[in-house]
Amino acid sequence: MKETWKPGNMLYPVPAVMVSCETKDGDSDIITIAWTGTVCTNPPMLYISVRPERYSYHILKESGEFVVNLTTKKLAKATDYCGTKSARDVNKWEKMSLTKEKSAFIDAPIIKESPVNISCKVDQILELGSHHMFLARVEGVQVDEELLDEKGRLNLEKAGLISYSHGQYFELGKVLGRFGYSIMRKKRKKR
**Does 6 map to a domain?**
no
Which of residues 8 and 103 earns the better pLDDT score? 103
Q: Which CATH number goes with the domain that contains 58?
A: 2.30.110.10
Number of domains within the chain: 1
> Does residue 111 register a pLDDT over 80?
yes
Residue 6's identity, in one-letter code, is: K
> Does residue 191 register a pLDDT over 70?
no
Task: Provide the sign of the torsion angle of the four alpha carbons 97, 155, 105, 89, taken in this order.
Answer: negative
**Does 181 map to a domain?**
no
Query: 42-68 burial by CB neighbour count: b if 16+ within 10 A, else e?
Result: eebebbbbbeeebebbebbeebbbbbb
Separation of alpha carbons 148 and 132, rounded Å: 35
The conformation of residue 146, written as its DSSP 8-state character, comes to G
> Quick one: which of 22, 91, 30, 93 has its CA closest to 61?
22
> Does residue 118 register a pLDDT over 70?
yes
**Does 33 map to a domain?**
yes
> Once rounded to an integer, what is the mean pLDDT over residues 76-96?
96
Q: How confident is the model at residue 9 (pLDDT cuts 50, 70, 90)?
A: confident
Domain containing 129: what range? 14-171
DSSP output for 69-119: EE-BSTTHHHHHHHHHS-TTT--HHHHTTPPEEE-SSSSSEEETTSSEEEE
> Once rounded to an integer, what is the mean pLDDT over residues 72-78?
97
Which of residues 9 and 27 earns the better pLDDT score? 27
**Does 190 map to a domain?**
no
User: Are residues 104 and 89 in contact, defined by beta-carbon separation less than 8 angstroms?
Assistant: no
Mean residue pLDDT across the chain: 94
**Does 182 map to a domain?**
no
> Does residue 187 register a pLDDT over 90?
no
pTM of the model: 0.92
Q: In this structure, are strands 36-40 and 65-70 parallel, antiparallel, or unpaired?
A: unpaired
Which of residues 185 and 26 earns the better pLDDT score? 26
**Does 136 map to a domain?**
yes
